[in-house]
Amino acid sequence: MSDLFSHHRDTTLARVAPLADRLRPRSLDDFVGQEPILGQGRLLRRAIAADRVGNLILHGPPGVGKTTLARIIAGSTRAHFSSLNAVLAGVKDLRAEVDAAQQRLAHHGLRTTLFIDEVHRFNSAQQDALLPWVENGTLNLIGATTENPYFEVNKALVSRSRLFRLQPLEPEHLRQLLARALHDPEVGYGTRPIVVTPEAADHLVDVASGDARSLLNALELAVETTPPEADGAITIDLAIAEESIQQRAVLYDKQGDAHFDTISAFIKSLRGSDPDAALFWLARMVEAGENPRFIFRRMLIAAGEDIGLADPQAMVVVEACAAAFERVGLPEGLYPLAQAALYLAGADKSNSVLGFFDALTGVRTANRQQVPSHLRDAHRDGQAFGDGVGYRYPHAYAEHWVAQQYLPSALQGEVFWQPGSLGWEGRRREQLQQRRAAQLAAAAELAADQGDVLSSSPDDPQLERWLQRQATAEGERLDNLRRRFWDGAHWQRNDRVLVLEARSLLWALDPLAATPEGGVVITVGQPSDLERLQAQLQVLDALRQPQLLVVPADAPASLQSQLEPGEGSRFDWVVARQPWRGLNAQQLDKWIAAVGAQLSANGQWRLLFSTPQLGPAAGLQALSRAAEPALQPLLEELSALERQQLQQEPNPGQLARQALIDQGWRVEQQHWQESLQLELSAALTARWLTPESTYLGQLNALRGSPLTAAAIEMLQQGFHRHLGQQLPQTVAHTLLRAQRP
C-alpha cells in the first residue's frame, strides 16, 4: 500500500512541479551550457563517463545547473546515490547516511555517493562529521554551493575534492532552454499554442542574466497568468514579459561570496584606474544595501596601499569625503562617496609603501641591529661611552641634508623603499637615488673612522645572501626564462595545453596550475623520457596529472591518433622549449601541419629556441689570454672553427618561423641574448675532450684532419688550470608566438 501511495505522490509531484524542475535534463547530451568543463574531451566529462568522479564540489551562481549536474552523475554512476539538503539536514541525518553506506559496502560491496545541496549551509561541526567517512572512502561527496568553497567549506573537505566552477549561462543557452520549454510536449508547453514575440524573448533572456531558473519561472508565470485569445493561443509580448520578470536581481549577500567578489572588483577597478568600472561596482554595492562606511574603510586602505606616495592627498580626500558623508547622510552622502571613488581611480598609483614589509623582514632576520653610536642618545651617558659623537645635524647643512648612515652596520646599503616614477614620489626619485649613493660613501668613511670592516665577515648577512644566490643561479636563471616565456599569457581555467617534447615538468607547471578545468597533454620523443616524467608526476593528484604521449620525432601524425576525437580535443596552446632538434625543414613542416591541425580557432603557438654563441675554446681564450700566451694560437684556430660551425648550423628558430609563415600563421618573434657564467669542472672538460665527443668530432670535420694528441693534451691542461673558474658564455634566445590571422 505504501508503494502505491508513494507512486501516486511522485506522479502528482511530477505533474505540479515547476517548469524549471520538469525541464531538468536527464543526460549530459541534454545538458545546456558549461562546455568549458563538460565539452567533449574535458576532464569532468571524461570522469563522469568513466564513473571516476570521486569527491566533487560544484560552485556557481543560482540557476546554472549544479543540482541538475549532480542528478546526471547519479544516473550514470554504478554507486548508490543519496542526497541531502544542508538547509534541512543535521548531524543525525548524516550519521544515518553513513550507517547505510557502511552496510552497503560491507554486505554488497556497493559504494555510496552522497550529494549535499547548499553544502555551505552546514556548520563546522556538521562538515567535520563528514570528513572521516570521506577520508576513508565510505562516502564519495558531491557538494553544490553558490558560495566560494575556499571560504565557506571545510578546508579539509576542499583539499580532498575536485572543484568546478559553473558560469552563468550564455544568451544562446537560455534561448535553447526557452525553445525547449515552448516545444517539448512532455515536460514543456509543446501541446499548447503559445507564441513568444522576439522582443519578449530578448527581454526574458537579458534580464535572466544567465539564470535558467529565473528565465523558466518568468515564462511559466507569463503563460499561466495570460488569458488565451479566441483561437486558444497565448501570446507573450514585451509588456507581459516585463511584468513577469520585472527587475534584474542583484546577487549580493553581505556575508557571502558576492559581497567579497564585488568589493574585490571595486578595489581592483580603482587600482586599475578605471573610473567607469569603479562607479559600476560602487553602484552595485549601494543598490544591494552595502554599508557606505565599509566602502569608505576599503577606500582608505586603497589610498595607502595602491596610491600611497604617488598622491599623498588621496588619503586626505577619502577621509574628508567620509567625514562629509557622516555629516550629511543618505541620499546626499552618495556625492562624497562617488567623489572619493573617482579621485582614487584617477590618481597616480604606487605601492612603494610595501617597502615597510621588507623592512619588517630585515628586522626579523638581521643578526646585528645595534643602533650606530653616532645616532644614540647623547643626553644620558654620551660622555662616558661616546654616544652621539660624530652625528651631523642636517639643518646645519645646505638643503637641510647631509650624507651619513642611519641603518645598523649589518644593513648598510640595504634598500627597503623603491619609489615609483609617478606623482609626488616620482619627482623625488632621482634625488633619493643620489642621496643613497652619497650615504653609502658616508658609511664607508664612517666605518674607516671607527675601524669597522664592511661586508667582509663570512657571517655577514649581505655576503651570505650573495653566496646563496650564486649557489642557486642556474635555478634562478631557468625561473626567469620561464617567466619571460609565459609573459603576457592570459589563461582561462578551461584552456587545454599541449607541451611538445618535454624533458621535464618545468614548462608545464604554469598551465597545470592555471587550467584546472581544461587539461595538459605532454608529448615525449621516446619511452625513456616517458618513464622519467612519470616518476616526477607521482607527487601530483591523480586528476591533476597531465596526459603523457610518446610521439617519435619521425612520426608527428601519430599525435592525432592518440588524442580523443572531436572538437573538445582541440588545444588552446601549443608550447615547447627547444623542439625539433636535428630536424630538417621538410620534417619540421610535417610537425607544424600535424600539430597546427589540433589548435582551436583562437589557439596560440609559443616556442622558445636557444642557441649558444660561444664555444668552449672561445671561453677558455677569454680566461687565459694574458696568462697563457703559448696556448693562444691553438685557441684562436679552434675559436674560428667554433664560429664557423655556429654559422653553418641551421637556426631552428628561424626554420620554425618560416615554416609557420608558409602554413599561414601570423608570427611575432622576440630576440634577446643572455650572458652566462659556466663553472668549469673536470666532468665538463672530460665531456668536451673525450675522443668520442661530439665537440671534437665537429672540430675535426671542419679542420679536415683530427687534432693531434699533443694538441688535445694541451687543451686538457689549459682547462684543468682554470677548474672552478667561470667560463663566459652567451646564449641567443628566440621566442615565437603565432596565431591564425
Among 349, 380, 407, give the residue marking a domain's end: 349
d(CA 354, CA 182): 58
CATH number of the domain that 208 lies in? 1.10.8.60
Strand order in the sheet with 496-499: 547-550, 519-524, 496-499, 571-577, 599-612, 726-739, 666-679
Residue at 98 is within a domain: yes
Pair type for strands 726-739 and 666-679: antiparallel
- The string of pLDDT tens digits covering residues 700-731 is 887 888 888 888 888 888 778 877 777 777 78
Do residue 328 and residue 436 come from a single domain?
no
- The string of pLDDT tens digits covering residues 472-511 is 344 456 667 778 888 888 888 889 999 998 877 777 878 8
Residue pair 677/726 in contact by the 8 Å Cβ criterion: yes
4-8, 95-99, 234-238, 246-250: segment of lowest average pLDDT: 4-8
Do residue 131 and residue 56 come from a single domain?
yes
Do residue 56 and residue 125 come from a single domain?
yes
Whether residue 527 is preceded by a cis peptide bond, meaning omega within 30 degrees of 0, is: no
Q: What DSSP assignment string belongs to 176-237?
A: HHHHHHHH-TTTSSTTS-EEE-HHHHHHHHHHHTT-HHHHHHHHHHHHHHSPP-TTS-EEE-
Do residue 708 and residue 645 come from a single domain?
yes
Do residue 343 and residue 272 come from a single domain?
yes
Helix intervals (H) in 386-540: 423-426, 429-450, 461-471, 473-485, 509-514, 527-536
- The string of pLDDT tens digits covering residues 382-414 is 454 556 666 766 666 556 665 566 667 666 556
Amino acid (1-letter code) at residue 172 = E
13-27, 321-335, 423-437, 593-607: segment of lowest average pLDDT: 423-437
Residue pair 226/200 in contact by the 8 Å Cβ criterion: no
Residue at 623 is within a domain: yes
d(CA 397, CA 377): 21
Phi and psi for 146 in degrees, rounded to 5?
A: -90, -5
pLDDT of res. 477: 62
User: Residue 641: which domain range?
Assistant: 610-732
Do residue 107 and residue 185 come from a single domain?
no
Residue 235, strand partner residues: 195
Do residue 102 and residue 191 come from a single domain?
no
Is a pLDDT exceeding 80 seen at residue 427? no
Residue at 224 is within a domain: yes
Residue at 471 is within a domain: no
Do residue 340 and residue 357 come from a single domain?
no
Do residue 157 and residue 272 come from a single domain?
no
CATH number of the domain that 341 lies in? 1.20.272.10
pLDDT of res. 566: 62
Tell me the pTM: 0.46
Region class of 80: left (phi > 0), else alpha (psi between -120 and 50), else beta: beta
Nearby residues of 585 by Cβ (< 8 Å), 6 or more positions away? 650, 655, 658, 659
Residue at 432 is within a domain: yes
Q: Name the CA radius of gyration of the chain, rounded.
A: 35
Do residue 334 and residue 375 come from a single domain?
no
Is a pLDDT exceeding 90 seen at residue 109? no
Residue at 504 is within a domain: no
Residue at 72 is within a domain: yes
CATH number of the domain that 76 lies in? 3.40.50.300
Residues in the chain, total: 741
Task: State the total domains in the chain.
Answer: 5
CA atoms lying within 13 Å on the CB side of residue 136: 9
Report the share of the chain in percent with pLDDT over 70.
76
Residue 57, strand partner residues: 143, 163
Do residue 116 and residue 40 come from a single domain?
yes
CA 60 to chain centre: 19
Among 450, 485, 505, give the residue marking a domain's end: 450
CA atoms lying within 13 Å on the CB side of residue 424: 12
Residue at 377 is within a domain: yes
pLDDT of res. 446: 33
CATH number of the domain that 407 lies in? 1.10.3710.10
Do residue 53 and residue 125 come from a single domain?
yes
Among 450, 469, 487, give the residue marking a domain's end: 450
